């Protein structure tokens, strides 16, 4: 007999309650999600039995409802790549950054992408205006001041109103494939730093992060100088981490940067200790040699090699038709991993 490891099932511990939960989960879920729904219901029952704090339950209730609704809104559009646009809610229509954001949204949606904004004024308004009818989403936050829906959101079924910033941020990251920031205030910097943190730590999948500003603006140049002078110089981040974003002043260049990121690279999946890069087409032997030579420092062992889909990917139906690279990535140097993706896109 082998030493097969058994995983303790997540249960209440009361047979009658566990039986009711199992029956309910089986009745109201898809076969592939039955176990997960059973665990969610178990958590709800545990919370109800363990907490008499009304505030705790209200928080969980509101979060669950907000996330459920956001998943419902985005579900029909999951196959379409989306770009999130951040920037100041106070930018005027006459400002150069407003006009730049509007132009960017118009051009990126013309290339088949959809746009996601925070739904408010300024840069968010410019993004919705430029995107045009049916090509944009608005993730609005309920505030006592400033944040009202802009008039360019044409389809109200693509509007989601959030009570909490953290659930809104989760939707921003989960449902989009690229991040674009225009000059802005605390909120813009908060979203930008969080996005970079998530990519840097591997909590978000690799994506293009573009900092766009008008030709004569020094906003992002000054911002980057602070990173170099205070963060890199003092060892708070690595110099490589500055490669996680690009500063761009031209809309056409920004659109090309986003398209190019997904030219060869398709998506990523972590399976056990292995990292799988799914590709839109196979790599040449020369590119494979180049990336093994250039990126051996981010591997714990072995080489970057072509591979068939893993058993887990096949069971879950995750793009079995696509070619893949598989590697024993050290799960630390995520900025270098993003750079590897850029090299793949440039070479083939």
Backbone CA torsion sign across 192, 196, 202, 208: positive
In this prediction, residue 155 carries a pLDDT of 83
The closest of 132, 77, 140 to 105, measured between CA atoms, is 132
pLDDT band (50, 70, 90) for residue 5: low
Residue 150's region, left for phi above 0, alpha for psi from -120 to 50, else beta, is beta
Tens of pLDDT, residue by residue over 265-296, are: 999 999 989 999 999 999 999 999 999 999 99
Beta bridge partners of 268: 277
Residue bearing tokens 């209440």: 12
Cα(239)–Cα(221) distance, rounded to whole angstroms?
A: 16
Q: Is 3.40.50.450 the CATH number for 77-261?
A: yes
pLDDT-based confidence at 9, cuts 50/70/90? confident
Contact 114/131 with Cβ under 8 angstroms? yes
DSSP SS3 for 275: strand
Give the lowest-confidence range in 121-125, 129-133, 193-197, 250-254.
Answer: 129-133
Indicate whether this model's pTM tops 0.75: yes
Residue 146 is predicted with a pLDDT of 55
Strand order in the sheet with 324-329: 265-271, 274-279, 324-329, 299-307
- The length of the chain, given as a count of residues: 348
Torsion of CA 64, 70, 72, 74, to 10 degrees: -150
Q: What is the mean pLDDT of residues 81-101?
A: 97
- What pLDDT is recorded for position 6? 57
Q: What is the mean pLDDT of the chain?
A: 94
Least confident of 3-17, 158-172, 208-222, 311-325: 3-17
Residue boundaries of the structural domains of the chain:
15-75, 77-261, 265-347
Q: Per-residue pLDDT averaged across 257-264, rounded?
A: 97
Position 209 scores a pLDDT of 98
Lowest mean pLDDT among 47-56, 85-94, 140-149: 140-149
């Amino acid at each position: 007999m082998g030493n097969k490891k058994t995983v303790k099932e997540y249960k209440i511990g009361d047979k009658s309650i566990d039986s009711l939960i199992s029956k309910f989960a089986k009745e109201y879920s898809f076969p592939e999600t039955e176990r997960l729904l059973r665990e969610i219901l178990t958590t709800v029952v545990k919370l109800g039995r363990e907490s008499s704090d009304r505030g705790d339950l209200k928080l969980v209730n509101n979060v669950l409802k907000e996330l459920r609704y956001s998943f419902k809104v985005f579900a029909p559009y999951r196959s379409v790549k989306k770009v999130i646009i951040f920037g100041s809610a106070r930018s005027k229509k006459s400002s150069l950054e407003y006009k730049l954001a509007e132009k960017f949204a118009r051009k990126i949606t013309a290339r088949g992408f959809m746009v996601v904004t925070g739904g408010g004024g300024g840069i968010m308004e410019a993004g919705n205006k430029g995107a045009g009818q049916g090509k944009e989403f608005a993730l609005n936050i309920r505030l006592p001041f400033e944040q009202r829906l802009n008039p360019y959101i044409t389809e109200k079924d693509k509007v989601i109103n959030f009570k909490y910033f953290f659930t809104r941020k989760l939707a921003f990251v989960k449902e989009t494939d690229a991040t674009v920031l225009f000059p802005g205030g605390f909120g813009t910097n908060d979203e930008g730093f969080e996005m970079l943190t998530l990519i840097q730590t591997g909590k978000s999948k690799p994506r293009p992060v573009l900092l766009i500003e008008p030709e004569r603006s020094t906003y992002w140049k000054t911002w980057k100088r602070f990173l170099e002078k205070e963060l890199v110089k003092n060892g708070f981040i690595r110099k490589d981490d500055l490669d996680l974003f690009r500063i761009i002043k031209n809309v056409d260049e920004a659109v090309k940067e986003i398209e190019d990121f997904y030219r060869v690279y398709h998506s990523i999946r972590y399976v056990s200790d292995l990292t799988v890069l799914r590709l839109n087409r196979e790599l040449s032997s020369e590119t494979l040699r180049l990336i093994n030579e250039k990126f051996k420092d981010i591997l714990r062992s072995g080489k970057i090699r072509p591979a068939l889909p893993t058993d887990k990917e096949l069971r879950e139906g995750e793009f079995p038709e696509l070619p893949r690279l598989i590697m024993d990535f050290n799960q630390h140097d995520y900025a270098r991993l993003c750079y590897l993706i850029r090299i793949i896109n440039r070479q083939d």
